[in-house]
A and B are shown apart, each in its own frame.
Chain A
């Protein structure tokens, strides 16, 4: 088993907390995310994110942080074969591309049980990076792929209210 940090489920059920050997406290969380497909159906997915209390991306590379995040994602899928996790890299510090690449590398280190689809190059040029991952056996697989890209295209360039 890969070395990772112990995680504690938050009392309010909103996510997990773990503390690194440097004392940085991280919160990993899952929230609801609704995709739409071309047939105007709402497709429920789950977004994943994490943040640390220091508000930075870490002082040094720590493989145990990666292992802990990957463990939490895999654990999420253990009893949810048809779940899907969406991840988005926000462009608040100009490092969104790096985070997207890092997340992709982490995904590649997961086993082939999962598939990942990412937003397109035209979106990256505008600083938007997002991916969706799910098990290859997911019965909603094709619907999730179609809805992921349709939702991005549908709302691309639109404001908060989708208008």
Chain B
């Protein structure tokens, strides 16, 4: 069955996954720490590069 194009993309094999993706949980933990610091420092979140914010609406 072909996956939904906008939500799912096929990847050739397991090794390719690890090459293409950083550990998403480790990245999220680091992102949360960077965001917390930016909030404390009053910096706009948009200044944080390589964090993809999702518009809530």
Residue A46 CB within 8 A of the other chain? yes
Which parts of A6-25 form the interface with B (CB within 8 Å)?
9-16
Known: A13-B46, A30-B55, A161-B22. 14 other contacts (CB 8 A): A12-B53, A16-B56, A31-B28, A32-B54, A41-B8, A51-B35, A51-B36, A75-B56, A90-B33, A128-B25, A130-B25, A151-B25, A155-B23, A160-B23
Q: Which partner residue on chain B sits nearest A32 by CB separation?
A: B52
A42 and B8 contact, Cβ closer than 8 Å, known pairs A12-B44, A32-B54: yes
Specify which chain A residues have a CB less than 8 angstroms from the CB of B13 in the assembled complex. Answer: 40
A15 and B56 contact, Cβ closer than 8 Å, known pairs A52-B39, A55-B40, A92-B33: yes
Specify which chain B residues have a CB less than 8 angstroms from the CB of A158 in the assembled complex. Answer: 18, 23
Which parts of A36-79 form the interface with B (CB within 8 Å)?
36, 39-44, 46-47, 49, 51-55, 72, 75-76, 79
Q: How many residues of B contact A (CB 8 A)?
A: 41
Q: Which partner residue on chain A sits nearest B51 by CB separation?
A: A31
Give A82 Cβ to nearest chain B Cβ, in Å. 8
Specify which chain B residues have a CB less than 8 angstroms from the CB of A128 in the assembled complex. Answer: 25
Tell me whether chain A's interface is mostly helix, strand or loop, or mixed: mixed
Specify which chain A residues have a CB less than 8 angstroms from the CB of B28 in the assembled complex. Answer: 31, 33, 47, 86, 88
Which parts of A135-163 form the interface with B (CB within 8 Å)?
140, 143, 151-152, 154-155, 158-163
Give B5 Cβ to nearest chain A Cβ, in Å. 11
User: With the chains together, A140 CA to B8 CA distance in Å?
Assistant: 11
Which parts of A89-135 form the interface with B (CB within 8 Å)?
90, 92, 128, 130
Specify which chain B residues have a CB less than 8 angstroms from the CB of A41 in the assembled complex. Answer: 3, 8-11
Specify which chain A residues have a CB less than 8 angstroms from the CB of B30 in the assembled complex. Answer: 160
Specify which chain A residues have a CB less than 8 angstroms from the CB of B49 in the assembled complex. Answer: none
Specify which chain B residues have a CB less than 8 angstroms from the CB of A92 in the assembled complex. Answer: 33
